[in-house]
A and B are shown apart, each in its own frame.
Chain A
Amino acid sequence: MKNTPFTDKHIALGAKMAEFAGYNMPISYTGINDEHAAVRKNAGVFDVSHMGEFILKGEGALDLIQRVTSNDASKLKNGQAQYSCLPNEEGGIVDDLLVYCIEENKVYMLVVNASNIDKDWNWIQKYNQPAGQAGTAAVEMHNISDKTCLLAIQGPNATKILQPLTEIDILNLKYYTFTKGKFAGVDNVVISATGYTGAGGVEIYFEDKDGAADKIWDAIFAAGGPQGLKPVGLGARDTLRLEMGFCLYGNDIDDTTSPLEAGLGWITKFTKDFTSKEIFARQKAEGVERKLVGFEMIEKGIPRQGYEIKDFTGATIGHVTSGTQSPSLGKAIGMGYVRTNFAALDTNIYIKVRDKLLQAKVAKIPFS
C-alpha cells in the first residue's frame, strides 16, 4: 500500500484510514456529517494526492488529446481546464478526467482517477502514434503522479482563507481556470479553481520536494485553523459529490456505460474525430435505452450501490450506482441507471432494499 506525503499527518490527526486505489487514505477524521457540513458552510482540506497526473508535450499533443477524449480540447486557452472522458472502442468509458491547457497546442496536463492510472496511461499510449501524418513525432508523455501532491481546499470560505498565503489573486480565479506561482513560500504551485464538491474553492498541485508538502499543509492550517478549516476525508468527499450528482468512476460510469447514458452529452462533442464517435452519434440520433438518473427515497431506507431498481409491478428496470443519506438535505438520495421510459422527473420507482421494495422518485440533480 502506498502512502501520500500527508499520511503521517492524517494518522496524527486520528483519521480512520483505509486502502483506496492502493493508497492508505483518510476516510474520516471527526465524522462524515461533521466534515461534510464544514465544506458546505465554511471550508475543508482534502488530501487527494493519490490522483494521477500526466504531462503531454509536443506538436501533436492537442491532436492526441482530441483523438482520445470526448470533449473538445481545442477550445482551451492557456490556463483553462476542462472536464472530459476517455471513451473506449465499444462506446464505454475508460476513465473521466480533467484536461489542463498549459501551453496551447503543445503542453497539457491530464488528471485521472487513482485506480485507473496504469490503465489510462496504456490506453493513451496505444493511440500515441503519428496519426497517418508522415514525419509527425509521437507525443512526449510523463507520468508525474508519484511526485505530485494534490490538495483540494473546498468550501465557500476556502479562497478567503488561502488568499493571505499567496500574491496570486485566487479570490477572483474563474471556475475551471488555473494559474501557477508561489504559494506559502513554495514555487511552481498550480492553483486551479476546480473541485468535486460543488462548494467552491481550489485544488492545488505541487511537487513534494524540499519539504514542500509539510510546508504547505502547515501553512494552510495555520491560516485556516482559527477560522474553522477542517481536514476532510474520502467519506465526505463521496457524500458531497453525490449531492451534486457528479459521477464517480467505478460507480456511476465504467467501461460499459456510455457518456450519453450517463448524462455526459455535454462533454461529448461531435466537432472532431475521437474514439467511438460513431457509436455516440448514433445514440444521440436514436436515443439511449437507459439513463443515469438521480432519485430520492420516499419511503424510509438508504439506497446502496448494486441494489435493484423496480417498477410498480416488481419488474427490474435498472440498478443503483451510488446512494447515501444526504448530510445536507437530511434525506436518502441516490443515482442509478433506469430504462429510458422511467427517466422523467418525478417518475415513481422502487428500490429493492434487502427484501423490501421501497418507493422513490426520479429527482433533479444537483439534489435539493
Chain B
Amino acid sequence: MNFPAELRYTKDHEWVSIEGNVATIGITDFAQRELGDIVYVEVDTIGKPLEAGAVFGTVEAVKTVSDLFLPVSGTIIELNPALANSPESVNTDPYGEGWMVKMTVNNPADVEALLDAAAYEAVAG
C-alpha cells in the first residue's frame, strides 16, 4: 500500500496536505481498500466552523457507510466537485483526483502534529 511521505495522516485513515492555511483532505489507500467501491461522498458542512474530530461528512461504499472526521479545527470551503460524477476516483487515485475537501485551518501547526507516513503505516498495519 502507498502512503506518500509528504502527507500527514490521522488514525481515522484520512490524509492531509497543507499550503498556507488551506488544507486538502482525503482518505488513505488503506481506507479505500477497506471500504471497497465508493459510490457517494456527502458533505453538508461547508462554511461551518468545526472542531477537530467533528463529523464533516460521510462516504458511502456499495456495502457500507462510514463517517468522515475533521483532522484539525477549521472551516470546509470546498467539496471536490468531480466526485459527484466519478466517486470511483477515491478508489483509483485516493491521494490525487480522489481528494475530498479543502478547508481553512485555524492553526496550521495542528497539521504538522498529525501522524507522519511511518507512524500511520504502523496504525494501518
Contacts and interface: CB of A to CB of B under 8 A. Distances in A.
B42 interface: yes
Interface string B26-68: 0000000100110110100000000000000010101101000
Nearest to A234: B63
11 contacts: A16-B36, A27-B63, A32-B63, A235-B36, A302-B40, A302-B60, A302-B65, A324-B63, A325-B39, A325-B40, A354-B58
Q: For chain B, give the interface size range.
A: 10 to 19
B62 to A, nearest CB: 5
Report the 4 A-B pairs with minimum CB-CB distance, sorted nearest first: A325-B39, A302-B60, A33-B37, A32-B62
A239 interface: yes
A31 B39 contact: no
A237 to B, nearest CB: 11
Interface string A7-32: 00000000010000000000110011
Contacts of B39: 302, 325, 332
Contacts of A324: 62-63
Given A33-B62, A235-B63, A324-B63, A301 B40 contact: yes
Nearest to B36: A32
B75 interface: no
Contacts, number: 39
Interface size on A, as a range, is 10 to 19
A239 B62 contact: yes
Interface of A: 16, 27-28, 31-33, 235, 238-239, 300-302, 304, 324-325, 327, 332, 354
B37 to A, nearest CB: 5
| Chain A facing B: main interface SS | mixed
Contacts of A304: 65
Contacts of A31: 36-37, 91
Nearest to B55: A354
Contacts of B60: 301-302, 325
B42 A301 contact: yes
A239 B63 CA distance: 9
A235 B62 contact: yes
B40 A300 contact: yes
Nearest to A239: B62
A277 B1 CA distance: 57
Contacts of A238: 63
Contacts of B37: 31-33, 327
A354 B42 CA distance: 11
B62 A327 contact: yes
Contacts of B58: 354
Interface string B7-26: 00000000000000000000
